[in-house]
Amino acid sequence: MKIVVTGAAGFIGSNIVKGLNARGIDDIIAVDDLRDGDKFRNLADLQIADYVDVDDFYELFAEAAFGQVEAVFHEGACSDTMELDGKYMMDNNYALSCELFQACQEQGSRLLYASSAATYGGSDSFREVPEFEKPLNVYGYSKLLFDQRLRRELGAKFENTGTQVAGFRYFNVYGPREQHKGRMASVAFHQFNQFQTEGKVKLFGDYGGYSAGGQMRDFVFIDDVVAVNLWFFDHPQASGIFNLGTGQAQPFNDIALTVVNSLRQLQVPALAPLSLEEATRGGLIDYVPFPEALVGKYQCHTQADLTALRAAGCTHLFANVQNGVASYMNSLRKP
């Protein structure tokens, strides 16, 4: 069984390769751009059959150069929500995805692809229907336009496809193998480094009607993201666009407090966990002014509606912040 993973050296892509390897699947074609050479670390401990540069892959795949491919996990994209070059974003996230979709349809390969919760943008409802899709940046629009293209070709719920096509609207994903992402790495990753170097973590102050650190997101652990992707891989009859989050919003303060308590207890196991008030009063959580560059472009609250995911039959149970972030901190502390 041959599998393609685009963005294979990236955060979600490399974790999907790891998940496939855990099942004994290693006939995997890894596709990425390694001009950032340090990303090789995300593949070094994994088993793949071949590596293909992104500049060569799409044309070769359209020519069926790789033979019969069972499924493509399409994670490759520009995921920088602060990127302002719309042409670059649309070429990477929309045009290449359209080419890949057409090739998969022609060759009978299943397509499981990364959409994004950024498609909802300024909405206060997060259900996979057009009336709630209000992107705030060109990244969110590039993801939405591909979803819209597939709806036109396949029907609103992708009911007119003979080969599985499933898109996942990832909410705020965190976990191992994101170290290369720079400013786009998760809050948990940045706070781990802040605590290691400064002995405290930082959060945005009050904004958008929310108190300091009180803005809420649906934070989802990478292991859960992989598990849902693999559930769809096991259920080729399931097609459509699906939210992939926990279904439960939690404040950024929960992330910060879990980081602080986890790292303190990893250093001194006997230490009792602190309350938010105690951590703040002790200077372990530092609130900084909300950045001007994000005003009007920031989602203060996200929470995945899991109705469609559950209706498809996926009953996966998700980790909450307290469990997922604690596990992540432990993995980051390991050599």
Q: Residues 120, 139, 141, 328: which is the catalytic one?
A: 139
Q: Can you say whether residue 121 is alpha, beta or left, with left for phi > 0 and alpha for psi between -120 and 50 degrees?
A: left
The answer to whether the CB of 246 falls within 8 A of the CB of 324 is no
Pull the structure tokens for residue 12: 């979600």
- Candidates 168, 304, 319; CA nearest to 255 is 319
- Considering only CA atoms, give the Rg of the chain: 20
- Are 276 and 211 a contacting pair, CB within 8 Å? no
245 Cβ contact list (under 8 Å, min separation 6): 117, 126, 169, 170, 171, 172, 218, 220, 302, 303, 304, 306, 318
Distance CA 121, CA 301 (A): 10
Q: How many Cβ atoms sit within 10 Å of the Cβ of residue 201?
A: 25
Calpha distance 335→323 (Å, rounded)? 21
Q: Strand 110-116 relative to strand 219-221: parallel, antiparallel, unpaired?
A: unpaired
Closest CA to 282 of 291, 292, 272: 272
Per the residue annotation, which of 2, 134, 181, 202 is the catalytic one? 181
The answer to whether residue 139 is catalytic is yes
What's the rounded Cα separation, in Å, for the pair 73 and 208?
A: 36
Q: Which residues are catalytic?
A: 139, 181
